[in-house]
Amino acid sequence: MPAFESIEDPEEVRPLMRLPFPPVQKSQILHCSYDYWHQKYRSSTLKSRIIPLSAPFLSYLREDGIVLPPETQATNSNYEDNTTSEGWDDDSQDSDPSLRFSEIHQQIKDTITELGGLVAPKLNWSAPKDATWINMKKNSMECATANDIYLLFKSSDFINHDLEHAFDDCAEDGPQQPQHINYVLVLRKWFKVNPSCEFRCFVRGRRLIGICQRDLNHFEFLFPLRDQIRDTIQRYFDGTLKGTFPDENFAFDIYLPEPYDQVRLVDINPWAPRTDPLLFSWLELLTMRLPPPLLGIPDSSPDPPLQFSSDEDTQDEGVEELEWKPEVRLVNKDDPEAYSFASPQYSAHKLPKDVVDASLGGESSMMDFARNWEKMVNGQLDMQHASDDEGSVEGNIPTTDI
């Protein structure tokens, strides 16, 4: 998902780029592509199908304007997926763009049927969450037809970001690393998502360091479940991702429905400004003090781990390994704005002025800011524990099978 969607002036972005981020390499972006990790973690992912996309299909997505195939498609055996224009009738293509990618069009229709008639679509990295206003089913990504998908995709800046800006601000890898993007359409079987069950989890140096809600509403019933949520996610991370995901630093999204004992992996995101830190800030995540590195971390990664030095600066000898647990951050009752970093839905990572000023002032002012921020956060957490039931969402919202 594009990080700076709502920041119009690129000058506003620059201070964020000065945070102590390790350089993001193209391979890290590729490791977060759905088709890269889905097979590896299939047993814990949402039910989904992956359709490789052809050049004509990608050209259609990139074209200006929205021309949808007719709902009842005229079949014409001359028009198969083909990159040459020989024998094509341009008028027919204009009225039915799917004639340029008829196999894929049919595959999409068949897959929607196979998945029960409703799907949530995404491209390699992003879902068209910003375009739900245009969907027949308002404010939803629920798609019942191929045309629903095309309409969402062609209206979405997030999809456009995947197509045109996937490697923005990335460093080159070594020549042995693949750099080419094989675009895919991901169709996930639709289910009624309970937003209180969605969490984003942050991993630094192969250690789970933070967990937070993805939805910015307050769910009072989550507060007593905090330990259970942390333990279940930690167990899942230790048993599944920790030793097998090729990068040391990343974020992953999970769905954790009642009774909070089984994790569904929804997405893996790069450790980069483009990933929304939600209830954390990148400054916190990057500078959070951690115990010294664990010994004997299993690493069955097929690729050599990337070399980052960020942990060396932020290990705290005083922090006891056994006592240390990742922080679970939930939205407080009174107002999500209690966290000044909480961004409104799909806005970019606009930073509070304090952070911008701190980052402009170099390393020492950033550390000052981090220390002050830590104190402030501790104060907020105390307030959180004191919150009562008033004004909270009642109970849990039922979900369907996934």
Ligand X SMILES: Nc1ncnc2c1ncn2[C@@H]1O[C@H](COP(=O)(O)OP(=O)(O)OP(=O)(O)O)[C@@H](O)[C@H]1O
Task: Give the binding site for ligand X (CB under 6 A).
Answer: 1, 46, 120, 122, 125-127, 129, 141, 158, 188-191, 193, 198, 214, 253, 266-267, 269, 276
Distances in Å between the Cα of 385 and the Cα atoms of 15, 107, 209, 252, 342 are 33, 51, 20, 26, 19
Nearer to ligand X, 120 or 225 (CB): 120
Nearer to ligand X, 26 or 264 (CB): 264
- In angstroms, give the least distance from the CB of 344 to ligand X: 13
Residue closest to ligand X when measured from CB atoms: 1
Show the DSSP H helices in 102-194 as ranges: 102-114, 146-155, 157-164
Q: 265 and 44 in contact (C-beta within 8 Å)?
A: yes
- In angstroms, give the least distance from the CB of 200 to ligand X: 8
Q: Select from 66, 103, 58 the least CA-distant residue to 81.
A: 103
How many whole angstroms separate alpha carbon 107 and alpha carbon 49?
10
Nearer to ligand X, 253 or 299 (CB): 253
How many whole angstroms separate alpha carbon 95 and alpha carbon 70?
8
Q: 35 and 53 in contact (C-beta within 8 Å)?
A: no
**Sign of torsion over alpha carbons 263, 269, 274, 280:** positive
Q: Residue 258: which residues within 8 A CB-CB, separation 6 or more?
A: 197, 396, 399
Nearer to ligand X, 141 or 212 (CB): 141
Token digits of residue 289: 């003090």
* Number of other CB atoms surrounding residue 121 within 10 Å: 25
- In angstroms, give the least distance from the CB of 127 to ligand X: 4
Nearer to ligand X, 119 or 358 (CB): 119
Cis preceding linkage at 270, omega within 30:
no
DSSP one-letter code for 32: T
Q: Tell me the three state secondary structure of residue 213.
A: strand
Question: Is residue 368 within a helix (H) or strand (E), and if so which, with residue range?
Answer: helix 363-385
Nearer to ligand X, 141 or 288 (CB): 141
Strand partners for 215: none
Q: Tell me the three state secondary structure of residue 59.
A: helix
- In angstroms, give the least distance from the CB of 267 to ligand X: 4
Nearer to ligand X, 96 or 142 (CB): 142
- In angstroms, give the least distance from the CB of 121 to ligand X: 9
Nearer to ligand X, 143 or 366 (CB): 143
Q: Tell me the three state secondary structure of residue 165.
A: coil
- In angstroms, give the least distance from the CB of 159 to ligand X: 9
Q: 362 and 224 in contact (C-beta within 8 Å)?
A: no
- In angstroms, give the least distance from the CB of 5 to ligand X: 10
- In angstroms, give the least distance from the CB of 402 to ligand X: 7
Nearer to ligand X, 78 or 400 (CB): 400
Token digits of residue 27: 């391979």
- In angstroms, give the least distance from the CB of 273 to ligand X: 13
Token digits of residue 277: 């830190």
How many whole angstroms separate alpha carbon 373 and alpha carbon 355?
10
- In angstroms, give the least distance from the CB of 190 to ligand X: 4
Nearer to ligand X, 190 or 341 (CB): 190
